Amino acid sequence: MNAVGIVGLGNMGSRMARRLAGAGHTIFGFDPSPVPVEAITRCDDLASVARSAGTIVLSLPDGAAVAAVCQELASSPGRAVTAVTDTSTIGPAAAIHAHAILATAGITYIDAPVSGGIQGAESGSLSMMIAASRETFERYDPLLAPIAKNRFHVGERPGQGQAMKLLNNFLSATAILATSEAIAFGVTQGLDPRLMLDVLNVSSGRNTATSDKFPRSVLDRSYDFGFATRLMTKDVTLYANSVHATESAHSVGDVVAQLWQQFEQVAPASDFTRIYEWISAANAS
């Protein structure tokens, strides 16, 4: 597995490429945008990646992009690729579709979305939620170790990794929404935001927004956590759609998805932590 392909060299893919290169792998990368990434060999097209690497890692923005890449890999002549690890967040239905495309060419699809953001990708401390056969998981686990410190075999069916990632991001999205509203309320009562977080973080209201996102990116109004509002909105919308498709409980998910969709319309290019400003403004009106 020394030669590894990376398709998608954005914030996450470029950092995963560097991690794998640092672990001794030869990296063949492709991205339609001319993103400079040191320590890798840039390929001009997907077919070149498919010929050069037995394993390819995808880090792509949505299910349509994943399907298009899988279709091209499956039809590439002289391909060496035998397995595709998909770290994208695309939802269960799209993962099942990607698996079906690759299966026609005898290529293994590993559903393996990640959580931890840019900082986690940089340090290799990502969480990875892997759905594949136990044999496949054990075979590729050493390759994925430099990318993700926390690797979980969540199931054997494509889409199960996506389900785990979506429910995680739904909880994260809900936590920062609720925390924003709670802190905004406290401010109207004359409470200091930093003091509120100190209390919450040793009380039952503690969550990742109070312990990490607010201290890092909201208290100082930097709003630079490194995860885009459009991506959070995409993820919670995928969650809501997936929940509806399974006829599971969805009342909270619907509200959370609607709020993120509304915020994206107001601030489409923002960091997702800026939602506190939006919630605070609503409180003041």
Residue 233 Rama label (left phi>0; alpha psi -120 to 50; beta) = alpha
Q: Is the pLDDT of residue 34 over 90?
A: no
Q: Do 139 and 183 have their domain in common?
A: no
Q: Which residue has the tokens 């994260």?
A: 172
- Chain centroid to Cα 220, Å, comes to 25
Mean pLDDT, residues 236-249 taken together: 95
255: domain range?
A: 163-284
pLDDT at 282: 80
Residue that terminates a domain, selected from 136, 156, 176? 156
Q: Do 24 and 97 have their domain in common?
A: yes
Q: What is the pLDDT of residues 203-232, one digit of tens each?
A: 999 999 999 999 999 999 999 999 999 999
Q: Do 253 and 121 have their domain in common?
A: no
- Measuring CA to CA, which residue among 64, 71, 13, 11 is closest to residue 46? 71
Residue that terminates a domain, selected from 156, 180, 212? 156
Instruction: Identify any residues that bridge with 130 across adjacent strands, giving them in sequence order.
Output: 153
CATH number at residue 237: 1.10.1040.10
Q: Do 66 and 101 have their domain in common?
A: yes
Q: Do 133 and 178 have their domain in common?
A: no
Q: What is the pLDDT of residues 83-142, one digit of tens each?
A: 999 999 999 999 999 999 999 999 999 999 999 999 999 999 999 999 999 999 999 999
In whole angstroms, how large is the CA radius of gyration of the chain? 20
Q: Do 210 and 263 have their domain in common?
A: yes
Q: Do 34 and 151 have their domain in common?
A: yes
Q: What is the pLDDT of residues 40-97, one digit of tens each?
A: 999 999 999 999 999 999 999 999 999 999 999 999 999 999 999 999 999 999 999 9
pLDDT at 1: 58
Please count the structural domains in the chain: 2
Residue that terminates a domain, selected from 131, 156, 181? 156
Q: What is the pLDDT of residues 158-194, one digit of tens each?
A: 999 999 999 999 999 999 999 999 999 999 999 999 9
Q: Do 178 and 261 have their domain in common?
A: yes
pLDDT at 160: 98
Catalogue the E-assigned strands of 75-156: 83-86, 108-111, 114-115, 127-131, 150-155
Q: Quick check: pTM over 0.85?
A: yes
Q: Do 235 and 106 have their domain in common?
A: no
Q: Do 143 and 205 have their domain in common?
A: no
Mean pLDDT, residues 25-53 taken together: 92
Q: Do 92 and 194 have their domain in common?
A: no
In this structure, what DSSP letter does residue 228 have? B
**pLDDT, the chain, mean:** 96
C-alpha span between 224 and 213 (Å, rounded): 10
